[in-house]
Amino acid sequence: MVSERRHKRIESEILKVVANSLEYVKDPKLKLITFTRVELTDDLKYATIFYISHKRKDYISVHLEKAKGFFRGHISEMLNIRKTPQIEFKYDEGIEYQLRMENILRKLKDEENS
């Protein structure tokens, strides 16, 4: 078990590495994404990397799946951890939810002001 502070630091470092790795990706379709956060399991064996994109989710997920080894290799090179975690990519639904809620609140405020 690692401390919570170290756990959060590793998540943060993985996010930086995968975000910086986008510069070196040869697939131009992947240059249209933004990594938003990383969730690491307590044993540091698995990392879920969340992303957003203006393209269709399923379209981008196929390309991310193909590049999984590339990203894992960069994580292994850049971080000084004993074992590189297995990675999984997931579309970040939280951002869309937040935007929908902001739009609803904005509409309510506009109606209230009218």
pLDDT digits (tens, 9 = 90+) for 43-76: 999 999 999 887 766 778 888 999 999 999 999 9
* 3-state secondary structure (DSSP) of residue 84: coil
pLDDT digits (tens, 9 = 90+) for 85-105: 999 999 888 877 888 888 898
Helices (H), the chain: 4-21, 57-66, 68-78, 93-113
> In terms of DSSP bridges, do strands 33-40 and 86-91 run parallel, antiparallel, or are they unpaired?
unpaired
Q: Full-prediction pTM beyond 0.85? A: no
CATH of range 4-113; options 3.40.50.170, 3.20.20.70, 3.30.300.20, 3.40.50.700: 3.30.300.20
Question: Can you give the residue ranges of every domain in the chain?
Answer: 4-113
Instruction: Tell me the CA end-to-end span of the chain in Å, nearest whole number.
Output: 56
